[in-house]
Structure 1
């Protein structure tokens, strides 16, 4: 197939997502498809990003500015949008069989693309719940929530297929009245790019070290719940938090170390000194039970056993009942506000049991490897294309 991948993203700020997209595209190409990436950015990258790996098939277009700032949601609705015309002309010149895009704010640009091309949209969250939760964080988030509330009903009217990264997301799309093709394909990672031995210093009897990677302002990450566990395990466990600073919390306990935001190379240096990874711990705050975070996949690929506070799509074995079958190296905690003493005991026991465990490719690849999951996605794209072309 001849595929166009459309991406609206600050590729410097969100290089983890950028890397996911690049890995997807590399896999599609390796499976015999012709692919081009069309990337709309708020500003041109000033440093090298993951896009460098596919620069020969990438077109980067900078958004227009309004009063010196990115037009963002305004572009294409409240003024003439040169970017819209440029993008659609470039897509038309490429003439793809299908346009695949990560869901973005609905705009006239997306409307025109959906009308002109066969399209499949990827959705990565329960958008209404997330936008509602963040609406008072800033004026930008409030405007995003209002924009979504007013226009989301039109977003999928002319989309030929929808890929949800979880069953929960796909269910919501169906309940909203969407009648066309849907599929569930969780986030994936190229496991072989990550597997490296741990470089933990000290004796095997040392206190287990746990690592969490997150982003400030996202309360569903549940770092406050991790800190509660830390407060109950002062002499038993040591916690390393990447993405947050000590000043983000009031009087955190001494067994928690904060690193702030780190580049990927520095992130690995921290991960490699830890025994156990921690995933999202408060997904209930945006009314969700199920997720498939990229950071969890990174930790698994680095060989770390995991503690999760949600249902991970990778381990769900029955799509109808959402029954999950977790391997022994994953500890699943409840998705609720309270941290019980039973939860704390489970965490301590798990950490000491798996402190010296290094997961292998064979352990994690069947659940999260890009080659398996992108094959499933490509099969879906072919079905959508075939049924739409008749």
Structure 2
């Protein structure tokens, strides 16, 4: 298959999403498929943080002036036009897109290029309500995109059930991680427990505020925050919280070597969801860290190295004793690498994804013949 993979993302800053896209494209290429990633990105003088041999960067014009509404709209229109032309030149058999391309100028054109498969990573309507974004217009565009899709891949059963209509083929493939590319860190011998949270500021469902509550309750533990910086959180007089802001992947990897436990999403209930498969949690276990989270994980629930403290507002205070016991048990111990490989490694997941793409293409061809 010739697979076009368009995304709108900053291709010059390392991130879990960009790493996932690159890993998917690499595995598909290794399976004999021709893959091209088309990244609409703001300009930058630095190197791409994704394999250049499989990537076409599409520089978004006027990025420095994005705060000006009309220039931003012109920039979006130009970007969509360039993206469409690049995809047409590639002549794909199928288009796979992780990040929804809401721009209306492209919505009606994608099916004319090739059947497209949409990957859903969240229930977008819930996020918009939580972040106070324009829900009505965005929901209308979302329905247009879903309605034109030849197939849908969701990263959890919950998302699949929310969007399932019966008219479009759907497959659940939870987020994976190339576990074999990373060696698990040797369990450190820390005197004080060291816990790490990797996320983004401004995302209420991540529950960074709950990490701060834990730090207040557990002054003998140290908490390391990657993503949120000192200006994003109120630390007060806390001396056991280290907020680094965004770091490069190599810097995060170095931090993992010293950590005892990873902290996942703690407030998914704020997004009216209960199930997820976050990339950061897969990265934690790939590096050998046990995990504390507050949701049902599509792959990891049931593993003894994954503690679900419940998806409620008071979970960290209500489950403080369980958290203490979990950290005490895993401090200085290694998690089961075999289980990590079985449950989250990308290899088997991408096999299922490619099989689904092939079925969708076959279904689309048969439908075209009937017409």
TM over 0.5: yes
Superposition RMSD on alpha carbons, in Å? 2.5
Q: Alpha-carbon deviation of 1:114? A: 2.5
Q: Alpha-carbon deviation of 1:131? A: 1.4
Count of aligned pairs between the two proteins: 364
Q: Is the 8 A contact 1:194 1:298 kept in 2?
A: no
Correspondence for 1:10:
10
Q: Alpha-carbon deviation of 1:240? A: 1.6
Correspondence for 1:93:
89
Q: Is the 8 A contact 1:64 1:71 kept in 2?
A: no
Q: Is the 8 A contact 2:107 2:144 kept in 1?
A: no
Q: Is the 8 A contact 1:198 1:274 kept in 2?
A: no
Q: Alpha-carbon deviation of 1:215? A: 0.8
Structure 2 Cα separation of the partners of residues 366 and 252 of structure 1: 43
Correspondence for 1:318:
none
Aligned counterparts, 1:260-271, within 5 A: 260-271=245-256
TM-score of the two chains, using structure 2 as the length reference: 0.90
Helix, strand or coil for the counterpart of 1:5?
strand
TM-score of the two chains, using structure 1 as the length reference: 0.86
- Change over 3 Å in CA distance of 1:70–1:188 after alignment to 2: farther
Helix, strand or coil for the counterpart of 1:156?
helix
Q: Alpha-carbon deviation of 1:249? A: 1.3
**2:180 paired with 1:192:** yes
2:309 to 303, 311, 333: 333
Q: Is the 8 A contact 1:211 1:277 kept in 2?
A: yes
Structure 1, unaligned stretches of length 5 or more? 136-141, 316-324
- Change over 3 Å in CA distance of 1:108–1:377 after alignment to 2: same
Structure 2 Cα separation of the partners of residues 154 and 252 of structure 1: 49
Structure 2 Cα separation of the partners of residues 295 and 80 of structure 1: 30
Q: Alpha-carbon deviation of 1:326? A: 1.3
2:66 to 69, 79, 93: 69
Q: Alpha-carbon deviation of 1:72? A: 9.5
Helix, strand or coil for the counterpart of 1:157?
helix
Helix, strand or coil for the counterpart of 2:244?
strand
**2:159 paired with 1:169:** yes
**2:116 paired with 1:115:** no
**2:240 paired with 1:255:** yes
Structure 2, unaligned stretches of length 5 or more? 367-371
Q: Is the 8 A contact 1:243 1:262 kept in 2?
A: yes
